Each structure stands twice: as structure tokens, then as C-alpha cells.
Amino acid sequence: MDEINLQDMRSGFRRLFMILPVVGLLISVPAEASLIITVGNVFSNSPSSSNTLEIDLTNTGPAPVLVGGFSFGIEVTDPHITFTSATIATALPYIFAGNSLFGPTISTLVGQTLEASDLWSGAGGATIAAGATVGLGDVSFDVSARDLPGLVIVMLSSFPFTSLSDPAGGNINVDTLAAGSITIETSAVPEPSALMLALFGLAALASIRKRFYM
């Protein structure tokens, strides 16, 4: 009888230990912030230079996040796109406005791949409020001559090239890396045959008009 009761007690404790972690997760663990780094979507002419697109950080979670540093990498496969620099001159408030250690130019690698980073100068870091969006970098790029218009996807490089850190240097998890795009528009140039037809047409109209008024 005692042996049966002991087995029942062990079984009961085993069930309790299986349930407790789940209960703890439900009632004691605070909801974590959801951080999204996003590349902008822009239109550019071909050829053109000094175009810009922005890299932003959004905190969609319920609590503020303290950021002490960041880095990001972006890349394209289209050889007509060349990234030339990244600066802190973002349209949205810059994440380390007034406290940038490396600005105004924060890029360290340019070309078809660009890498950039910055740190909060001094002690502490930037508080990203719940629901807030801040700028991480204003990226300049050139577009060389291209025969056809089209869409170029701008990808964010994965960790550790794109990452956030707290004031102590520890990693802050980024939940989503959202790619952007560059839509390239080209100036349509008539083919020689079409151009000649247009010229002949204009000449014919001019001749008819001249005869009409004679």
C-alpha cells in the first residue's frame, strides 16, 4: 500500500514539474519587443547618380529597447547599381542623433555591397520607444546606363553584418530583416527606323500643308 502511494506521489510531482514551466511562461515572462530593420523602396533613372534610399529600425513591441550600437549590410546583384556611401542624414530621426560616434559618414564598405555601423557616443544608449521608427542610415547610390527598366531587390545581409547591440555590447535580437527595392526607369529612345519614319511623316505633313496654302 505504501509502495503504491509512493508511486502515486512521484507521478503527481512529475505532472506538476511538467506543468509549472508552461504556467510560468504564461504568467511571468513579459512580452518581448519585435524589432524590424527595413530597406526603403525608391525610383531612380538610368543613368543617374546621388540617388538615396533609407534603412530604418521599427520597434513594434510593447516595451522600449535601449540600443548602444548597430550595423547593417545591404547588397544587390545588378551590376548597374553601385552604393557609394551611408550617412546619418536620414529623413526619419537618426537613432543616435546628437550622439553619433562615427557620423556623419558611417559606411565602411561600398560597391554592390555596402556595410555601415555606428555607436552611441559616451555612456548609455538610444531608447527606441514602443511603436517608434528611427533611421539607421541614408544610403547613396549610382545607376549606370541600362537598356531596360526593371526592379532591383536590395537585400539586408544576415547577422552579424546586420545587428543591434545593447550599451554593454550584448546582442539584441532582430526579428525581421525586410528587403527593399530600386525601380529603375529608362528614357525610351526611338529606334533608327522608327525615327526615320517619324521624320518622313513630318516632312509629308509639311509638304501637304504647303500645297494647301499655295
**CATH number reported for the structural domain that contains residue 65 in this entry:** 2.60.40.680
Tens digits of residue pLDDT in 169-189: 999 999 999 999 999 999 755
Same domain, 48 and 17: no
The confidence score (pLDDT) of residue 191 equals 46
Same domain, 22 and 99: no
User: How many domains, in total, are found in the chain?
Assistant: 2
Same domain, 42 and 124: yes
Average pLDDT, the chain: 83
Same domain, 43 and 111: yes
Tens digits of residue pLDDT in 61-107: 999 999 999 999 999 999 999 999 999 999 999 999 999 999 999 99
Task: Work out the angle at residue 136's Cα, subtended by the Cα atoms of residues 138 and 51, and round it to the nearest 5 degrees.
Answer: 15
Residues 6+ apart with CB under 8 A from 179: 39, 153, 154, 155, 156
Same domain, 92 and 8: no
- Does any domain span residue 41? yes
Same domain, 133 and 168: yes
* Arithmetic mean of pLDDT, 10-23: 38
Between 195 and 101, the higher pLDDT residue: 101
Domain enclosing residue 5, as ranges:
1-30
